[in-house]
Amino acid sequence: MLGILVLLAIAAASVWAIVDNAKLYFTTLLNALTLASLYFLVASGFTLVFGLMRNVNLAHGSLYLFGAYIGWMVGDRSGSWVLAVLAGFLSAAIVGLVLQLLVFRHMQGQDLRQTLVTIGVSIVLADVMLWIWGAEIYTFDPPGWIYGSTALPLVQKFPTYRIAVFVMAVAIGLALWWFLARTRVGMMIRAGVDDRGMLAASGVDVQKVFALTFAIGAGLAGLAGVVGGSALSISPGEDTRYLLASLVVVIVGGMGSVGGAAIGALLIGLAEQFGLAYAPTYSVVFTFVIMVLALAFKPRGLMGRAA
Amino acid sequence: MSAARWRRAMNTGAARTSHLPATKGRANVRLVGLPPHPVVVPGDSRGRRTLALLVTPRYLVVLIALLVYPLIASPFFTYQIGAQSLGLGLIALSLTFLGGYGGMVSLAQMTVAGIAGYLVAIFGTSSAAAISLGWAWPVAVLFAVAIATLAATAIGWLSVRTEGIYTIMITLAIGVAFFYLAQQNYTLFNGFQGFNKVFAPSIGGLDFREAVPFYYLALGCALAGYFLVRLLVRAPFGLALQGIRDNPRRMNSLGFAVTAHRVAAYAVAGLMAAIGGVLMVWYNNRISPGTLNTGAMINILIIAVLGGMRHPIGAFLGAIVFVLLQNFAIDLVDRERFNLVIGGVFLAIVLFSPDGLLGLWALVRARLGRGRPLHSNPRRQRS
Amino acid sequence: MTTTNTWWTRAALGAAAALALGGAAQAQETLKIGLLATLEGPFAAPGQDGMRGADLALKQKNGMAGGKKIEFVKVSSDATPDKAVSATRKAVEQDKVPIMIGPLSGDEGIAVKNYAKTQPGVTFINGSSGAQGATLVDPAPNFYRFNTEGAQWMVGLGEHALAKGYKKVYLVAEDYGFPYSQVQGFMASYCAKGGKVVDKAWVPLGTKDYASVIAKVPKDIDALLVVLGGSDAVNFLTQYEQAGGDKPMIGGSITVDQTVLNFKGKRRESLLGTASAGPMADSIDTAEWKKFVADYKANFKDGFPSPSLFAYLYYINTKAALDALDTVKGDLGNGQKAYRDALQKTNFNGPAGPIKIDENRNAVGTTYITEVTKAPDGSFYNKVVRSVPDISETLGLSDAEFKKMGLGSRDVPDCRK
């Protein structure tokens, strides 16, 4: 009932906005979709890690930044943006693996302790990265064919790169879904979500599965770092920003659900861009108010399942 | 057994046996979360027990040390180290109470403190003459604390259905939302620059802007908070709260109003945080969105965990260590790397001693063979 | 008995702790000067460069001033005013510095100025804070600023914009005090001479995604006035180009400065030609400036290719502090009266123009109008087009006119139609 009312209100507001300035409305809509894609990329790793291991990894933002820096160095040396993306993925995956083996393995089930440890790790990592790479702004150099602007109906010029991000997010989202739903490893992961003990009893090396999942989740953060850094540059402070964004997306969408992460990202992207376009002063507050309301009404996220 | 009888049984049972060390051979029936330091003589009346709480040798020593501290310390140490630790410690104490004894780790305690601080600036006098109402300070403080406590209750009501990590998330979101609201709004919160020249009052001839009087003010508030928590956790409310922390379903079936207890816990914690917030705004003589940003919210968590959430004194221990690190790490380490020091210390404590400094202290005592052995009760090792 | 032993051990430990915490007195043989900059968070790069500027000023004097050896007590903040005051308090009350230099950012400056009022025996000199409120509103008698502030930095840019034919501009700026001052400085003469600022888009500080803001830019304007800093500026400029934007841009003082022009990545050709203004520029053609740049490069191999705004500002403030010490031969007695008189009489040729202050202890100085140009080696720099001397806090208006305008804010000044 409430949902229908909300949808009606949004529809009415949309009609008014289109009549007022159609170009702005559709540009904002597209911007929101593409921003949502970026948020989805970042948050997908987080949701994967929490979904299986109930591991709260608040160093996720640091992994994003770390992957971006390493990706930048590789891209700078080799001149290839694709290599940079791969390097971002791999470097973050390795750090994630190390974290899992050294830290998380000994803290299964201790939510609060994991939270605190990862907060500590993120503070330490942030300062180390500041030490190594300084406080300058780094931007990437994607290949020319996905850079520049495209002509689109209604909105005229639109940045090509943002469309590329959208395509990438859809591709990775589908790949992730296929991985979880259709491969053996994915099956093990999903079984582990439901019953870890049974999974171990059926002969699967649960620790290996955990390590692999964490590595993938972390790697996704690093990949998002390069992709996001190409759209919106890299500098210290990005780690907190994307951590908060991932948290909001995943909480609103429900932890452990790839579809939920997509919905959460969409909601947040829409809220942020439309807020910035039509009510810039308080746009940032909207995002977090949505998160608060979502959690207040659905304490485990909009699509979350009970533990 | 009716709820009332159960409560009575819990209360007297705890009081009678909580003090006995295990070495004496009696069954160590102790409720989780009660302070490990025995101060109660069996069979005494409530009043004498409470008094005994206050006048043991250890407490006297610490109390005298705290009272005498400003006389031997420099004004800088009294103010920036001493008073700041007490103020921050009070806010962290609210988190220890809520998280340690209530099982609800809320990152919004600094937000509540910030709300109280902002309201003191808005209701009282400040540099933003267009916004501040200029009320007399007792009225301003009273309204600020009251409204901040109400806000804490609202936050509690919003967060009450969440558990564990979700509570952390929702309180973090509330805190960040309020931060952006304060930063963007100029009519009420004066946006990015906030309020300057929010001064502590003068009462009689005593100017609380001076280091020593302010220290004693902070000390008084901190002691009040400390003893409030100590007494509250032994009272029926506190015991019920700990029961709810451990097993809400069972408590519900016993007839306790779980949600009401939790929200009430948020309110009590909010009251302490609000008073801490008033102290901090008087300490800084200003408040701005930077006072309650994400970093500040997490700092309170760091302080509470650093000291240890098993006993109220942990909050103040953590605050002292944190303030010392913040001020002097820059002298010990290469100037730019002190964030690494603070983060590293925090990480070390959380990795190796989940109960913070108090846990370390208990370990040391156990190793040296003195005092009570460590509890095998796994709840003792809760994060 | 065990209990008594325990009791005594604890008492002893406690007493030791108390003594340690009490803070022992420190003997001073050298003269300590406090130095505050932001070394944490996103302003860390400007902060580091600011400290380099101060270090350079001291190095040029061989580490001595007023006959004493000078030692900097360096403290850091994270751009929040609370931390700035905390750090200042530590330097002043714990390390007992008689002179304090800093802070870096605008609102920190106001907070430190307020703190300065509680420490009348200590002299506070600005680092690089450019907030008008630090000296215009409720000034502190012991707070000195030898650099011009944010509004002064933009005076003259308005006329330059009109000269280039930009009669209607649209503003994109961060929503806080420093941009308010900058916009006021620009509009003070721009509006008076017939320019129109069609609308103002104030974006929350830290916005990274400007897509929607860019979508709202009207079509019938002549130029964009962009007052963003650091990574916000880089993001906006990149995204504007990607979105197919083609309007020329006028930048604020930190929108196209060294930290922005030096971002690690491909230089965007669209930046070329952007006009800006500030208290200094990379390409000032005087002997003093060239010497300053050469000294900076020689001493700091890990610094920027050319000293940034913050290095320059910290440099002139520190140099003024040290020069005055030389003038009074290190005499800080009598409530530092002689020293403060010397500060008030400061008048030397800094790298980017004369350094002197008015009766509010705020600088009266030169502003340089610049345009982004490509150097022969491919890097970008700001080329000086014009310099406007002797700008005071009233921004070229009379005292009465300025008072009527008031301090810059979201809606002040306003000239839409």
Most confidently modeled range among B271-280, C44-53, C301-310:
B271-280
Distance from CA of B20 to the nearest CA of A (A): 31
pLDDT at B30: 38
Residue B269 clears pLDDT 70, i.e. is over it: yes
Distance from CA of B45 to the nearest CA of C (A): 25
pLDDT at B318: 93
pLDDT at A76: 86
pLDDT at A272: 85
Distances (CA, A) of C106 to A143, B239, C49, C69, C113: 39, 50, 17, 31, 11
pLDDT digits (tens, 9 = 90+) for C253-289: 888 877 677 666 666 777 888 899 999 888 888 899 9
Most confidently modeled range among A50-54, B77-81, B259-263:
B259-263
Residue C7's pLDDT band, with cuts at 50, 70 and 90, is: low
**Mean predicted lDDT score pLDDT of chain B:** 82
Against chain C, the chains showing at least 3 CB pairs within 8 Å are A, B
Assigned domain for A298 exists: no
Judge residue B339's burial from the number of C-beta atoms within 10 Å of its C-beta, 0-12 exposed, 13-18 middle, 19 or more buried.
buried
Q: Which residue of A has its CA nearest to B337?
A: A127
pLDDT at B182: 92
pLDDT digits (tens, 9 = 90+) for C163-199: 999 999 999 998 888 898 899 999 988 988 888 999 9
Greatest CA separation for chain B: 69
pLDDT at B339: 74
| Cβ atoms of residues B169 and B161 within 8 Å | no
User: Hey, are the CB atoms on A296 and B158 less than 8 Å from each other?
Assistant: yes
Assigned domain for B208 exists: yes
**pLDDT greater at residue C299 or residue A248:** C299
Assigned domain for B51 exists: no
Residue B21 clears pLDDT 70, i.e. is over it: no
Assigned domain for B380 exists: no
CA distance A121 to A62: 9
Residue from A276, A282, A292 to probe the interface with B (highest B Cβ count within 10 Å)? A292
Q: Where are the alpha helices (DSSP H) in B19-73?
A: 46-54, 57-72
Assigned domain for A282 exists: no
| Range name among A165-169, C289-293, C403-407 with the lowest pLDDT average | C403-407
Number of structural domains (chain B) is 1
| Cβ atoms of residues A168 and A39 within 8 Å | no
Q: C251 forms bridges with which residues in the sheet?
A: C226
DSSP state of C385: E
Report the sign of the C-alpha dihedral through residues A64, A68, A74, A79, in that order: positive
User: Hey, are the CB atoms on C177 and B57 less than 8 Å from each other?
Assistant: no
pLDDT digits (tens, 9 = 90+) for A202-256: 888 888 888 888 899 999 999 999 998 888 888 887 888 888 888 888 877 766 6
Assigned domain for A260 exists: no
Residue that has been written with the tokens 């582990």 in this structure: A192
- Beta-carbon contacts of A284 under 8 Å, excluding residues fewer than 6 positions away, are A272, A275, B180, B184, C204
Residue from A123, A238, A246 to probe the interface with B (highest B Cβ count within 10 Å)? A123
Residue C220 clears pLDDT 80, i.e. is over it: yes
| Range name among A153-167, B56-70, C192-206 with the lowest pLDDT average | A153-167
Distance from CA of B77 to the nearest CA of C (A): 6
A277 touching C, CB under 8 A? yes
CA distance C138 to C117: 10
Global pTM reads 0.83
Against chain B, the chains showing at least 3 CB pairs within 8 Å are A, C
| Range name among A10-19, B44-53, B276-285, C106-115 with the lowest pLDDT average | B44-53
CA distance B189 to B181: 8
Assigned domain for B134 exists: yes
pLDDT at B336: 62
CA distance A178 to B376: 46
Among B261, B267, B236, B238, smallest CA distance to B248 is for B261
ω before C389 within 30° of 0 (cis)?
no
Percent residues over pLDDT 90 in chain C: 34
| Cβ atoms of residues B273 and B91 within 8 Å | yes
Against chain A, the chains showing at least 3 CB pairs within 8 Å are B, C
SS3 for A207? helix
Residue from B171, B350, B353 to probe the interface with A (highest A Cβ count within 10 Å)? B350
Report the amino acid identity of residue A67: G
Residue A2 clears pLDDT 90, i.e. is over it: no
Residue C319 clears pLDDT 80, i.e. is over it: yes
What residues in C contact B197, CB-CB < 8 Å? 114
Assigned domain for A10 exists: no
Domain that holds residue A67: 38-247
CA distance B306 to C350: 49
Assigned domain for A300 exists: no
Percent residues over pLDDT 70 in chain A: 94
Which among A23, A35, A284 has the least Cβ separation from residue C204?
A284
CA distance C317 to C159: 29
pLDDT at B50: 64
Assigned domain for A264 exists: no
SS3 for C174? strand
Q: How far apart are the first and last CA of chain C?
A: 89
Kindly state the tokens that stand for C217.
């830019």
**pLDDT greater at residue C30 or residue A196:** C30
Among A250, A300, A240, A184, smallest CA distance to A41 is for A250
Residue B300 clears pLDDT 90, i.e. is over it: yes
Average pLDDT for B100-123:
94
Assigned domain for B173 exists: yes
**DSSP calls for B239-293:** HHHHHHHH-HHHHHHTT--HHHHHHHHHHHHHHHHHHHHHHHHHHHSEE-GGGGS
Distance from CA of A232 to the nearest CA of C (A): 6
User: Hey, are the CB atoms on B174 and A127 less than 8 Å from each other?
Assistant: no
Percent residues over pLDDT 90 in chain A: 16
Assigned domain for A44 exists: yes
Q: Which residue of A has its CA nearest to B173?
A: A288
Q: Which residue of B has its CA nearest to A244?
A: B173
**pLDDT greater at residue C231 or residue C60:** C60
Taken in order of first residue, the domains within chain C and their CATH numbers are: 26-147+287-361 (3.40.50.2300), 152-278+367-405 (3.40.50.2300)
Domain that holds residue B342: 73-367
| Cβ atoms of residues C417 and C298 within 8 Å | no
pLDDT at C293: 92
Report the amino acid identity of residue C338: A
Residue C17 clears pLDDT 70, i.e. is over it: no
Residue A305's pLDDT band, with cuts at 50, 70 and 90, is: low
Assigned domain for A64 exists: yes
Which among C41, C44, C215 has the least Cβ separation from residue A27?
C215
Residue from A35, A139, A157 to probe the interface with C (highest C Cβ count within 10 Å)? A139
pLDDT digits (tens, 9 = 90+) for B115-166: 999 999 999 988 888 888 988 999 999 999 999 999 999 999 999 988 888 8
Q: How many C-beta atoms lie closer than 10 Å to residue C416's C-beta?
A: 10
User: Hey, are the CB atoms on C242 and A72 less than 8 Å from each other?
Assistant: no
pLDDT at C309: 86
Assigned domain for B8 exists: no
Which among B166, B180, B340 has the least Cβ separation from residue A299?
B166
Distances (CA, A) of A164 to A36, A168, A231: 13, 6, 10
User: Hey, are the CB atoms on B196 and C111 less than 8 Å from each other?
Assistant: yes
Average pLDDT for B14-38:
40
- The CATH number given to whatever domain includes residue B315 is 1.10.3470
Q: Which residue of C has its CA nearest to B289?
A: C80
CA distance C146 to C343: 9
DSSP state of C93: I
Number of structural domains (chain A) is 1
In total, the C-beta contacts within 8 angstroms joining chain B to chain C are: 117
pLDDT at A177: 85
Percent residues over pLDDT 70 in chain C: 90
Assigned domain for B17 exists: no
Q: Which residue of B has its CA nearest to A115?
A: B165
pLDDT digits (tens, 9 = 90+) for B191-239: 888 898 888 988 888 888 888 999 999 999 999 999 999 999 999 999 9
Distance from CA of A116 to the nearest CA of B (A): 7
Assigned domain for B12 exists: no
User: Hey, are the CB atoms on B383 and A121 less than 8 Å from each other?
Assistant: no
pLDDT digits (tens, 9 = 90+) for C350-396: 898 899 898 889 999 999 999 988 888 877 888 899 889 888 888 88
CA distance A126 to A98: 17
